[in-house]
Structure 1
Amino acid sequence: MTRTTSVQKLAFISTRAISYSHLLRAFLFGLLLPLSFAPFHLPGAAILSLAFFYAQLGKEQNQQAFWDGLFLGLGYFGLGISWVFVSIHEYGHLNSVLAALITLCFLIYLSLFPALMALIFKKLAIPRLTFLSCLLFSALWTLTEYLRSTFLSGFPWLLLGFGQFDAPSKYLLPVIGVYGVGFLTCFAATILATSTQLNGLRRSLCLIAFVGLLLSPSLLKYKNWAQKDSTSMSVGVIQANLSMRDKWDENLFWQLLQRYQQDTEKLLGTQLIVMPESAIPLPPSYIGDFLTDIHVKAKQAGSAVMLGIPKPTTIDENYYFNALISLGNAKGFYLKQHLVPFGEYIPKPFQQISNWLAIPDANLKPGGTDQTLIKIGRHAMATLICYELAYGDLLRHQLPRAEWIVSISDDGWFGHSLAMYQQQQMAQVRSLQTARYQIIANNDGLSSVVNTRGEITASLPAFSAGILKTTLFPMTGMTPWVYFGDLPSLLFAVLIVFIYMVYRMRHYKVNH
C-alpha cells in the first residue's frame, strides 16, 4: 500500500512538472527576445523566439496560452529592462527587497500585454487557416505593443521593431515605422514556425516567403528620403560623466560648472555646442553669472550653446520643467513633454501609496504640446529629452520643419546596465525613420552623432568624460513615416483582425 502511494505521488509530481514545463519554455523564449536589441545586436533572436512561441501556442488551451504569454513577458522584460531595479534601488533609495518587489510588479504589468495577445489569439484562431493565423498573430502582437505604448501614459521601450535595426528590415523603418517592422518580424517568425509543420511544396513556399520577407527590404538600402544642405555644421558635445550623487555635492558642483566652462571655451567657434540633460541641476536663478558668461562668449564666437537645466514654472516656483535652453547664437527653449512615471512624477492613482512608502513627491511638470522649435539662424531643430526618444509622435510632430535632431539624456539613473545601449539604438532608429542627423548628448555616455542612415559617425565611450567634435548636415524633406506616421501600420493590423473575425463568424455559422 505504501509503495503504491509513493508511486502515485511520484506520478502526480511528474504530471505537475510536465504541466508547468510549457511556462518554463515560454520564459526561456522570452529571454531570447532582448538579445535582438543593443548591446547584443542579434535580430534573429527575436524571430526564433516568436517562432518557438507561436508553435507552442498552437498546442495550448486558452488558459494555458494566457500564462504562456505572461511568462514570455517575464523573460522578455525581466532581462530587457532589468535596469529599472537599479534606478529604484540606487537612486530611489529603497532597500533591495522593496525595490525588487516594485520591479516585479512592473514586470508583471508589462507581461500582461503579451498574455492578452496570446489569449485573444487562441480564442480567435482557427487551426486550419494557416496563413490567416500567421497574420492574426502578427496583427495582435502589433496592436498590443501599441496598447502598451499608450495605456496609462505608455511604456514604448523594447518595441519589436527597434530590435531589427541590425537586420535588412530596418530599411522599411522610414516607410512603415517601428510598428510596421515589428509586424513583419512577427509574420516572418510565424511563417518559419508554420514551415516546420508542412511538407513538400507548401514547406518550400513558406521558406521562400520567409527569406523574401527578411531580404526584400534591402531594395530600399540606397533610397534617399531627404535632401542634404550644401553647407555642413560643426558640432561639439560635452560629456561630463558626473554621477547623480556627485551632482548634488556642493564642492563637486562648482567643479562641474568650471569643467563645463572650460570645455565650452575649448569649443568656442563651433557652430553648435550641446551639453546633456540636467547638465546643471540647479535653476538659472542660482547660476545667473555662469549662464551670462557662457552666452556672451558664445555670441562673440558665433557659437550656439544648448544645455539641460530645471526651469521654474511661471505659476508655482516650487515646480519645474525639465528644460533644454539655448544660449549664444541659438534662440528658444524646449520643455520636456513626456515625463517618466515614478521618476519625474507620481501618477495620481499611486500618490497615496508613494506617501505611505515615504517616496518624495516629484516636483516636475510637463511642457506644452505646441512649442516653438529652437533655431540657429534660419535652421530649426527637433529636440527630445531622454525617455521621449521612445515616443515617435513627439519627434514626428516637429517635422519636417526641423532639419536635424538634438536629444539629451542622463543615463546615470540606470548605472552600468543595458539602458544606455538600448537608448542609443532607439536614437539610431529615429534618425533612419526621419532621414535626419542626430546629436546625442548624454551625461555618462553614449554621446554621439548619428547620420541619416542611422549610422554612428562619432561617439564617446561610456562612463568617461570628454569632448566630441564633428559635423552634420541640415536636411529637408520627409520620409513616408514622417508624413503618415504609424497610422497605416496600425490600421492594417486592425483590418486583419476585423477580416479574421468576420471569417470566423461565417465559419461558425456554417458549422452550426
Structure 2
Amino acid sequence: MFNSKLWPGHLLGGLAGAVATLAFSPFDYWPLMMASVAALFVLLTKAPSPRAAAIRSLFYGLGLYGTGASWVYVSIHQFGDAPVVLAGFLTGLFVLALSLAFFVPVGYLYSRLSRAQAHWRKVLIFSGLWVFGEWLRSWLLTGFPWLISGYTLLDTPFSGLAPVTGVYGLTLLVALTGSLVGALCVSSRKQGRSLLGVAIGVALFAAGGFALKGFEWTVSDTEEPLSFSAVQGNISQDLKWEPGHLDKTVQKYWALSENQWQKDLVFWPENAIPTFYQNVPRLMEQMETQASQTDTALILGMPWYEGQDDNRSIYYNSLVGLGEAEGHYFKQKLVPFGEFVPFEGLIRGIISFFDLPMSSFSAGTPEQMGLSIQGKPVAAYICYEVVYPDFAAREAIGKDILLTVSNDTWFGTSIGPEQHFQMVRMRSLETGRYQLRVTNDGMTALIDPFGRILSSIPRYQAGVLEGEIPGMTGSTPFMDFGSWPVLILALGFVLFGRVRRSDSAPGTYSS
C-alpha cells in the first residue's frame, strides 16, 4: 500500500469515484458515470496485484461516497449537534465502512479472476462483479442502496430497460459500456478486434433500451382519476419536534388544507403531526369527521405507539388513513441511526446524534394490511423505503397508484434530497405507475409512469400541489421477476469470463 509507484494509481481511483457523483442528480452529467467506470477498469486492470486493485477500489469508494454522500455530515452536525471535528470523523468513518464493504471486494475479485484473461473476458468479469457489488448494497448490513450507477440513465434514451430489468439492468449497461471503453484504451489493435463481439452485444442491449423507451407496460384503469391535494408544510427541522410547536404545526397543515376538502385525497407528509397517534385522540376524531363529511381520503404521517413487548416500548413510523382512506401502514425499511440505533446499548447517549427524536422505531411486517382509498389498496412508502427497487416493486403488485411521503429536512440544503428524488422517479418507471410524493420541504411532485415530473412544488416553501392521479393496472416484467434475471446474467458473465484462459491474453501492468 505504501509503494510510492502505486500511489498515483490509487489517487486516480479516488478522483474517478469523485467524478461519478456529477453523473447523479442534481448535476445529471450521465456520461461521466461511464467515464468513471472506464477509468476504474483501466486502473484495476493495470494494478500489479489483487491487493493493489483492492486499494484502488477502496479509493474509488472513498471518492464516490466522500462527495456523493457528503450530506451525512449535515445530519450529524446540524441536526445531531455533533461538533465539526466529531461530525467529520463520523462521516469519514461511514464513508470508509461503505467503501470497504462494497468496493474493496469488487476490485480484489476482479483482479484475481481476470488475471491473464483476454480483454473481452475481463469486460464480462468486471461488469458481472460491478452489478453484484451494487446489488449487495441493497441488503448487506440492512442496506444502503444509494448512488447506484443505473440511476444516472433515468433521463437518457436507454431508460426503456428499467421496466424490464429494473435499475440493476441499467447498472449492467453502464458497467459494460464503461469497461468496454476502458478495455479499448489498454488494448493493442489485435486485442481490440477481440472486443468486437462484446461491443455488438452492448450496442444491442442499449438499442433495446432505446426501442422500449415509451412502451406502455401498464394501462389506465376504467375509473375516474383521483383528485388530490398534496400539502407541503415546510416546517423547520429545528422546530418540528419541539413540544411547544405541535399546535402551530397542526394549525399550519390545517390552514393549508382548508380549501382542499373537496378533493378525493388530501395527503400530508412523513410525521406531519410529530406526536403519537394515541396522544391526540380528539384531534384524530376531528380530522376523521372533517374527512368523512366531505368524502375525502386523508392520509398523513405520524408516529404510532403499539404498546409494550418484553419491557420495550413498540413504536412505528406510520401512515394513517382517515375518512375515505382506511387502515394504516407501518414502515418496514428503517434508517440506521435515524430510526433505530444499532448496538444502542453501547452508543446511546454518547452524542446527541445517537439520541435523535424517534430513533427507536420498530419495523412493520410485510403481512400488514396497509392503506386503501375508497376501498382500493394503494402502495405506500415512507421516505427511505422507496430506494429499495425489489421491495418497492413487490409492494406495487396489485396496487394502482404509488404514494410516497418523506421528510428530507434532515439533509439540509445538500444534494441528498435531489439524489433521493431521482430514485423516487425510477420507481414509477420500473412499475409503470403514477406516483404522488409529498414531503415536508420538497420536492413534492406528481410523477408519471415513465418517471417524468408532471407537476411539483419547489423546495423550501410551503404550498399545496393539486391535480389528478390515474390508477394503472397490469404489471411490468420487473414487477413479475424482480432483479433476478439481471443477477443471473451477471453471474453468467463472471463464470463465462473464467471458462478458459486465453493464450493471447495480456500480461499484468503497473502504474
TM-score of the two chains, using structure 1 as the length reference: 0.91
For the pair 1:235 / 2:225, whether they are aligned, the reply is no
Q: 2:135 — aligned with what?
A: 146
Query: Could you tell me how far 1:227 is from its partner in structure 2?
Result: 1.2
Q: 1:81 — aligned with what?
A: 69
Residues 21 and 506 (structure 1 numbering): CA distance in 2 closer, same or farther, change over 3 Å? closer
Query: Could you tell me how far 1:378 is from its partner in structure 2?
Result: 3.8
Alignment check: 8 A CA contact 2:393 2:430 kept: no
For residues 179-230 of structure 1, the C-alpha deviation after alignment (integer angstroms, 9 at most, x for no partner) is: 1210111001111122233438839947666655544411001311011023
Which residue of 69, 92, 106 maps to 1:104?
92
Which residue of 31, 36, 40 maps to 2:27?
40
Alignment check: 8 A CA contact 2:126 2:494 kept: no
Instruction: Find the residue that maps to 2:335 and give its secondary structure.
Output: coil
TM-score of the two chains, using structure 2 as the length reference: 0.91
**Counterpart of 1:291 in structure 2: which amino acid?**
M
For the pair 1:202 / 2:193, whether they are aligned, the reply is yes
Residues of 2 paired with 1:233 and 1:355: CA distance? 46
Q: 2:329 — aligned with what?
A: 334
Alignment check: 8 A CA contact 1:195 1:207 kept: no
Alignment check: 8 A CA contact 1:320 1:363 kept: yes
Q: 1:459 — aligned with what?
A: 456
Residues 203 and 135 (structure 1 numbering): CA distance in 2 closer, same or farther, change over 3 Å? closer
Q: 2:346 — aligned with what?
A: 352
For residues 9-28 of structure 1, the C-alpha deviation after alignment (integer angstroms, 9 at most, x for no partner) is: xxxxxx96543111221111
Alignment check: 8 A CA contact 1:195 1:203 kept: no
Which residue of 405, 408, 421 maps to 1:408?
405
Residues of 2 paired with 1:273 and 1:404: CA distance? 15
Residues of 2 paired with 1:147 and 1:251: CA distance? 43
Alignment check: 8 A CA contact 2:307 2:313 kept: no
Q: 1:49 — aligned with what?
A: 36
Residues 378 and 117 (structure 1 numbering): CA distance in 2 closer, same or farther, change over 3 Å? same
Query: Could you tell me how far 1:38 is from its partner in structure 2?
Result: 0.8
Q: 1:388 — aligned with what?
A: 385
Residues 33 and 351 (structure 1 numbering): CA distance in 2 closer, same or farther, change over 3 Å? farther
Report matched runs for 1:24-423 at 5 Å.
24-61=11-48, 62-112=50-100, 113-196=102-185, 197-199=187-189, 202=193, 205=196, 212-230=204-222, 231-315=224-308, 318-348=313-343, 351-357=345-351, 359-360=354-355, 362-423=359-420
Query: Of Structure 1 and Structure 2, which has the larger fraction of its residues in helix?
Result: 1
Residues of 2 paired with 1:473 and 1:489: CA distance? 30
Alignment check: 8 A CA contact 1:304 1:330 kept: yes
Instruction: Find the residue that maps to 1:265 and give its secondary structure.
Output: coil
**Computing the radius of gyration over CA atoms, which structure comes out larger, 1 or 2?**
1
**Counterpart of 2:273 in structure 1: which amino acid?**
I
**Counterpart of 1:202 in structure 2: which amino acid?**
R
Residues 290 and 506 (structure 1 numbering): CA distance in 2 closer, same or farther, change over 3 Å? farther
Residues 210 and 398 (structure 1 numbering): CA distance in 2 closer, same or farther, change over 3 Å? closer
Alignment check: 8 A CA contact 1:237 1:447 kept: yes
4+ residue runs over 6 A deviation: 505-508
Alignment check: 8 A CA contact 2:214 2:450 kept: no
Residues 203 and 129 (structure 1 numbering): CA distance in 2 closer, same or farther, change over 3 Å? closer
Residues of 2 paired with 1:318 and 1:505: CA distance? 62
Q: 1:20 — aligned with what?
A: 7
Report matched runs for 1:463-482 at 5 Å.
463-482=460-479
**Counterpart of 2:72 in structure 1: which amino acid?**
V
**Counterpart of 1:107 in structure 2: which amino acid?**
V
Answer with 213-222 or 267-276: which moved more.
Answer: 213-222
**Counterpart of 1:142 in structure 2: which amino acid?**
V
Q: 1:6 — aligned with what?
A: none
Instruction: Find the residue that maps to 1:313 and give its secondary structure.
Output: strand
Residues 352 and 504 (structure 1 numbering): CA distance in 2 closer, same or farther, change over 3 Å? farther
Q: Any unmatched runs of 5+ in structure 1?
A: 1-14
For residues 304-338 of structure 1, the C-alpha deviation after alignment (integer angstroms, 9 at most, x for no partner) is: 01010000023358441000001111111100011
Instruction: Find the residue that maps to 1:94 and give its secondary structure.
Output: coil
Q: Any unmatched runs of 5+ in structure 2?
A: 506-511
Alignment root-mean-square deviation, CA:
2.3
Fraction of identical pairs, as percent = 32
Answer with 315-324 or 362-371: which moved more.
Answer: 315-324
Alignment check: 8 A CA contact 1:191 1:209 kept: no
Query: Could you tell me how far 1:301 is from its partner in structure 2?
Result: 1.1
Residues of 1 paired with 2:112 and 2:58: CA distance? 16
Query: Could you tell me how far 1:254 is from its partner in structure 2?
Result: 1.4
Instruction: Find the residue that maps to 2:302 and give its secondary structure.
Output: strand
Residues of 2 paired with 1:198 and 1:301: CA distance? 73
Query: Could you tell me how far 1:356 is from its partner in structure 2?
Result: 4.7
Query: Could you tell me how far 1:251 is from its partner in structure 2?
Result: 4.6
Residues of 2 paired with 1:127 and 1:30: CA distance? 26
For residues 393-450 of structure 1, the C-alpha deviation after alignment (integer angstroms, 9 at most, x for no partner) is: 3222223211111110000111001111111111110000000111111101001010
Residues 504 and 314 (structure 1 numbering): CA distance in 2 closer, same or farther, change over 3 Å? farther
**Counterpart of 1:70 in structure 2: which amino acid?**
L
Report matched runs for 1:463-502 at 5 Å.
463-502=460-499
Query: Could you tell me how far 1:148 is from its partner in structure 2?
Result: 2.2
For residues 258-303 of structure 1, the C-alpha deviation after alignment (integer angstroms, 9 at most, x for no partner) is: 1111222211111111111010110123322222222111111111
Residues of 2 paired with 1:73 and 1:464: CA distance? 35
Residues 39 and 95 (structure 1 numbering): CA distance in 2 closer, same or farther, change over 3 Å? same
Alignment check: 8 A CA contact 2:173 2:202 kept: no
For residues 365-384 of structure 1, the C-alpha deviation after alignment (integer angstroms, 9 at most, x for no partner) is: 11112111311124221010
